[in-house]
Chains A and B, each alone.
Chain A
């Protein structure tokens, strides 16, 4: 059969069916209108003719019978009644089914429909056909049917029982690969779960897209099932792993009316017609319902243009275009790196290809990208409805930050965010009374913020509720047998909190509803992403979702460390720095830092952090520069390249061996093998054919133990305080304790400064005591042990604070005393004994927190 001709035929059939449906309804209301019956007759005649041409015998037979009945009506030999309308409508349904399933045409059973039509024709000939009232109690009158109908065969007993149990009714559309297999579920398990949620009424599976063994595997079969449940609408959306658009609620009134109208015997099977929600063709890669499948243009005409000039086309084509563009980018990169490109006569052409490829990929990406605001437009009303349902007073703050993402991500995030929101309402946000009693604002606050990072979409879900207690999680996990008590005792808070994602974690009111959290994690991981939970008890919870921009092309810097190549997304790189007067490597409080102009930044050596392996014992993990490397840098024997990386949490300097190139890379999913390594976010094939891992800058910061990057007790709602003024001007004492750091004390906290001789120091255990004016001063230091500080010196200084005159703080050198107005930078933490840092006369100075120093001593 000529496929192009067949495609045209199917298209025409659909048009005739579109004419038939309203015409039959109109006929029921006005059977004397010649225009209507003529339209019906012409449509059926055309269907019959075309079906005969293509050898579709059953379709031809059925349409012929219908045409004959229509002809009798047209010739006023037959008066329209309910039986005739029912027979014509049933015939129309059958034609629609046959159109939707051409592969089955020969097997289609038209016996019932043709028998009913033949009966009408026979009675007409015998003159025995009698008028029956239009409003027959046993049938569904066509005029009450919605415009788009889908027949399900249902047992009225089940319908009646469901109604009596107060069930709601839903039609769910599924793609068996995408919605079931790709989410790691077996078909049987999936339907078992459905049965646990409600009553399974009927299923329709569309197998028309499979023609034989050759094309058997590719099609994502579409099935619709009709079920009833006592769950409320919102919970139904949450329970099924399908986009909301694939679930349509059927009003109870419709079912009640149907059961009443049908007035049938208990064992009677009746056709039921449900209203379909029209899906946006751009929402799904494949046709989602048999009706849509039938309603869509054939594959050869996959796009349609409307009168406004807008082109609507299948996302399948878009996906293919994206794939081809990705391939083209790879080939372009290979071309640019080849020796061929060095030929001067070809440079102009190659540059042109380079530019055209970049422009093409940008346009293709634009086609796929949608503002994430679209997701929130959909979520906002549902979230407000949920908040009302839970009786919680919550302010919802959404910050999309102009993030545009692939439309698949918009669909994928819909359900997880609703689950998180529901959890926050159910378990996190306290009631107004409790909040007020706890000193919180009576109105809860939930913030959802999105941003892009390292080729990922990051969604932060933050609530200011009561938080999750790691100790509670630990006890529940041990009790549920998820983890052994000994192992749980070894875990840090973050690891304990991660247990809420365990499949068997109990859903305790005091913890998270973990069955849902497990499901959310699975959904996110199915997209190649990850989800983490951080909590501060009494302050709130932050859930971070990261989803890679699958197949996205991002601009990246290619760097080398330890002889291997890595890619870093350009959007994470704030600047590239070289060591010099404006960018110095300092050593502060036992670790290297970078002084970049007026700021101190933590610094991470990529080679060092990547040399640690997953099995490295915690105390052996290297995170700072090696002393040898540091000395080389200080003495300018080595001039490393430093990338200033900016993440939502912090800025830090990343030392790499070599900066290679800037390249557009195609981001690929990370293999599950690499998932435990937090330093990678994806992988890419470079132009030279080598694979480069894409660095996860936040993960690198954590591995490098950057302050604020590895904090186990997050501060979800505590804003970062960037600077704090010390009351200006202030008298400061600058000292040095033998290292490279300069410490500053507020002079009004120091009562006096004494010069001391190491020979007068006595040691009791690890503590040092200075004999001074018939008393003993306990000596303490800011960094190294006192014994080490004063070993190689003849004299040292002791600063005696006003708050404790029996304590002496050891300093090796008094550097200066001055009255200065300073701006203290508290962005980074250098331990609780340091208030912050300030740049004074071009030198970074650490401000000592004297009260804290003394408190620690007392403790």
Chain B
């Protein structure tokens, strides 16, 4: 996972699947990013994330809640068709500001 923080946005690029074997490392990396106390909108790029399992979903929701807690807007971009459908099923598209 990579992150780019500038004065306009915090871009988080996921290079792996959001699945149970990876979520602990991903969470740690995300927590480190938030330790920088960003004050800008957060954009999660899921272009390279093909699979999201239930724990991966938990982590994304956790990221969203973290943003809400800090008063930050969160947006997901680059989600695959399958993942967009997953967010759509759970009615999370609006919450994550996923554009059609």
Contacts and interface: CB of A to CB of B under 8 A. Distances in A.
Interface in A57-108: 103-104, 106-107
B63 A216 contact: yes
Contact of A188 (B23, B68, B85, B92): B85
A211 B62 CA distance: 7
Contacts of A205: 90-92
Interface residues of B, number: 30
Contacts of A106: 68
Contacts of B34: 213
Given A186-B53, A217-B23, A217-B24, A210 B90 contact: no
**Interface size grouping (class) on chain A:** 20 to 34
Contact of B86 (A181, A187, A214, A217): A187
Contacts of A203: 89-91
Contacts of B59: 213, 216-217
B86 A188 contact: yes
Contact of A176 (B23, B27, B54, B69): B54
Interface in B39-87: 51-55, 57-59, 61-63, 65-66, 68-69, 82-83, 85-86
Contacts of A177: 54-55
B97 interface: no
Given A187-B86, A213-B30, A176 B57 contact: yes
Max chain A C-beta neighbours (<10 A), residue from B23, B54, B57, B61 = B54
B20 interface: yes
A207 B61 contact: yes
B31 A213 contact: yes
Contact of B54 (A181, A204, A210): A181
A191 B89 contact: yes
A617 interface: no
A215 interface: yes
A188 B85 CA distance: 8
B58 A221 contact: yes
Contacts of A221: 54, 57-58, 61
Contacts of A220: 54
Given A177-B54, A181-B54, A187-B54, A216 B86 contact: no
Nearest to B56: A187
A849 B66 CA distance: 81
Interface string A182-193: 000011100100
Contacts of A180: 54
A55 B31 CA distance: 28
Contacts of A181: 20, 53-55
Contacts of B69: 211-212
Contacts of A217: 23-24, 27, 55, 58-59, 62
Interface in A144-172: none
Nearest to B17: A186
Contacts of B23: 217
A211 B65 CA distance: 6
B61 A213 contact: no
Contacts of A218: 58
A223 interface: yes
A842 interface: no
A207 B27 CA distance: 17
B62 A213 contact: yes
B65 A210 contact: yes
B9 to A, nearest CB: 18
A219 interface: yes
Contacts of B83: 188
B28 to A, nearest CB: 9
A188 B69 CA distance: 28
Given A106-B68, A205-B92, A211-B69, A187 B62 contact: no
A816 B56 CA distance: 80
A240 to B, nearest CB: 16
A196 to B, nearest CB: 14
A186 B51 contact: yes
Interface of B: 20, 23-24, 27, 30-31, 34, 51-55, 57-59, 61-63, 65-66, 68-69, 82-83, 85-86, 89-92
24 contacts: A176-B58, A181-B54, A181-B55, A186-B53, A188-B82, A188-B83, A204-B91, A205-B91, A207-B61, A207-B65, A210-B61, A211-B65, A213-B30, A213-B59, A213-B62, A213-B65, A214-B62, A216-B27, A216-B59, A216-B65, A217-B24, A218-B58, A219-B58, A221-B54
Interface of A: 103-104, 106-107, 176-177, 180-181, 186-188, 191, 200, 203-205, 207, 210-221, 223
Given A187-B86, A213-B27, 10 more contacts: A107-B68, A191-B86, A204-B91, A207-B65, A212-B62, A213-B30, A213-B34, A213-B65, A216-B58, A217-B55
Closest 9 pairs between A and B when the two form their complex, measured CB to CB: A216-B62, A176-B54, A181-B54, A212-B66, A205-B90, A213-B66, A213-B62, A207-B61, A212-B65
